[in-house]
Amino acid sequence: MVSDRSLEVLRVIVQDYVASREPVGSKSIVERHAFGVSAATIRNDMAALEEEELIVAPHTSSGRVPTDKGYRLFVDHLSDVRPLTSAQRQAIETFLGQSVDLDDVLARTVRLLSQLTNQVALVQYPSVSRSRIRHIELVTLSPGRLLCVLITDTGAVEQRVVELSADPTDEEVAEIRGVINGAAAGLSLFDATARLRDLPDALTERTRTHVAPVANALIDQIAANRQEKLVMAGTANLVRTEHDFTGSIYPVLEAIEEQVTLLKLFGEMATDQHGVAVSIGRENAAFGLAETSVLSSGYSASGSDVARLGVLGPLRMDYSNNMAAVRAVARYLSRLLGE
């Protein structure tokens, strides 16, 4: 059982080690922090922490550094997730507010998050399994050719050109638009696929001639976007902290290229009282990321959680600042997509 003072000693060891990357000794703790006890007492606390495998000596007669178990205890007892500065909040609003579409806003999100945290930033595209069709627009491009625009409630916009066997009039295009939206608007993509597949059978032959190609194009659009995707930025940040990893960093780089693996990890992470999920060290071993920490938070659109964003980096990271950044960016992204 770790005493309150020993827990405080662990906290300053984590903070000092994150700041300096130098093992932390009892003498430096007494000099830098107001514990009001002797170095010998601090050494006793450090011995208790070492016995609990929360800190370890990387070299003989050196100071101590946190273990992944120590980082976990530190995060679990973290009560002060520092709020972002007003300048940081303004940067988020300004930078993301300039986005023109969903692809742009997610690309900007990872760039901004990597800059705020100096880690690898990841954002998951809105889950198509939870998306609903907001509207389907049809635009005449030329005789016999329509542009089919699929818009979901998560802000995704997908376009596809549809070739028709006949040249519909403006009135017929409006009729096709009405029939398609009447059948699919408001439905989940999964339910919409089934409805669109059966739709031509319920129409007259004249209407079916125009509607069937559009319905088939929409079904293909939905199927093509079923695969979950991640956007990533800041891999160079990982390389710059290469000395925080034992051995080669290449296994970590290879692991983060596997989007399916990262998406599965995101899906298994449980959010804490701060609204952020944190997975540390050995907790990530099954994903080939045993020397990393991953922080994530969910973002939403239309009032429901649709995907996650987060950061990945070495165990030695500024958890309080990074958790605050992940939480703030997720909240602003939710507001932006909900507008």
What does the pLDDT read at residue 88? 87
Distance of CA 142 to the CA centre of its chain: 41
What does the pLDDT read at residue 293? 96
DSSP output for 299-328? EEETTEEEEEEEEEEESSS-HHHHHHHHHH
| Contact between 326 and 310 (Cβ < 8 Å) | yes
Domains and CATH numbers, the chain: 4-76 (1.10.10.10), 86-127+228-338 (3.30.450.40), 133-224 (3.30.390)
Most confident of 2-6, 200-204, 205-209, 218-222: 2-6
Q: How far apart, in whole angstroms, are the C-alpha atoms of residue 2 and residue 8?
A: 10
Choice between 49 and 337, residue whose per-residue pLDDT is larger:
49
247 Cβ neighbours under 8 A, 6+ residues apart: none
Summarize pLDDT for 142-178 with one digit per residue, the tens.
Answer: 988 899 998 888 777 888 899 888 888 888 888 889 9
pLDDT of residue 29 exceeding 80, the answer is yes
Is residue 55 helix, strand or coil? strand
* Mean pLDDT lowest among 117-131, 177-191, 268-282: 117-131
Phi, psi angle pair for 303, to nearest 5°: 85, 5
Summarize pLDDT for 264-311 with one digit per residue, the tens.
Answer: 898 888 887 778 999 999 999 999 999 999 999 998 865 555 689 999
Q: How confident is residue 121, by pLDDT bands cut at 50, 70 and 90?
A: very high
Neighbours of 229 (CB within 10 A): 14
- Residue found under tokens 């984590």: 14
Query: Among residues 85, 73, 28, which one has the least CA distance to residue 325?
Result: 85
* Tokens matching residue 186: 């408001």
Residue 32 corresponds to which amino acid? R
Phi, psi angle pair for 209, to nearest 5°: -60, -40
| Contact between 53 and 13 (Cβ < 8 Å) | no
